[in-house]
Amino acid sequence: MRIKYAPLITLFVLLIVAFLPQASAQSGLLAGRTIVLDPGHGGEQAGACYFGVREADVNLAIGRELAARLTAAGANVVMTRTTDELVACAGTDPADELQARVDIAQAAGADIFVSLHANAHPAKPETAGVITFRAPGRSTALAAAIQEAVVEETGAVDKGVRTANFYVLRHSDRPAVLVEAGFLSNRVEAARLNTPAYQKEVASGIYKGIVRYFLALNP
């Protein structure tokens, strides 16, 4: 080995040593955790639909990206749907459809439940930004960690953590949040949400929020 390469090799080894513990700590953190991802809507229920962008498609794309990241980190990921179809039978009552999603989380023994949606405010089309919902009095830490990390990763408007009595949040007995990744009724945000690059940023933010949540539980 020529001596002139020694400093470079030393630097390379130092970089590996510096980053390895962080990487293994994070994957160790998620190993064995059961994380249920719930891409909202599907099939005949497109959810919000503006400027040719279907919410069901955006939700599923973000869900697939997030599932890949979590799985790579050792988590046991269960998705309520992986295709553009409803979870319950086609034509089912909306409440039964939502219960079918809750049932999947219960059967899986979810450590956390993350429902993925995109928002709409057609009366105020300038409205944009990310909101993470949780049920009143519950899932505070998970919602805060995800909201903060998604805003960091996407640079989107921070519309904060809010409480809501959404069916899937109310009926989950595990920490459960519903992430509204942006407003499809906003033309600019709809266009962004429709790109794989932005979907990856949202997924990366949710992923980081989940890691921080578990890190805070087991520092």
CB of 23 to Zn ion, least distance (A): 34
Closest CA to 162 of 135, 125, 127: 135
Nearer to Zn ion, 49 or 191 (CB): 49
Per CB under 5 A, contacts with Zn ion among 156-215 are none
As given in the structure block, the two tokens for residue 68 are: 């890949």
Q: How far apart are CA 191 and CA 50, in angstroms?
A: 10
Nearest residue to Zn ion, by Cβ distance, number only: 117
**Based on CB atoms, which residue is closest to Zn ion, 117 or 212?**
117
Question: Cβ of residue 30: shortest distance to Zn ion, in angstroms?
Answer: 26
Rounded Cα distance between 162 and 132, Å, is 6
Between 101 and 117, CB nearer to Zn ion: 117
Site for Zn ion, residues 25 to 54, rule: CB under 5 A? 40, 47
Give the residue with the Cβ less far from Zn ion, 40 or 175. Answer: 40
Which residue number, 26 or 194, has a Cβ lying nearer to Zn ion?
A: 194
Min CB(214)–Zn ion separation in Å = 26
Q: Which of 101, 117, 159, 192 binds Zn ion (CB under 5 A)?
A: 117
3-state secondary structure 131-155: EEEECCCCCHHHHHHHHHHHHHHHC
Beta strand extents in the chain (DSSP E only): 34-39, 49-50, 53-54, 76-79, 112-119, 130-134, 158-163, 176-183
For residue 215, give every residue at least 6 positions away whose Cβ sits within 8 Å of its Cβ, in sequence order, or none.
Answer: 26, 29
Task: Give me the residues that bind Zn ion (CB under 5 A), please.
Answer: 40, 47, 117
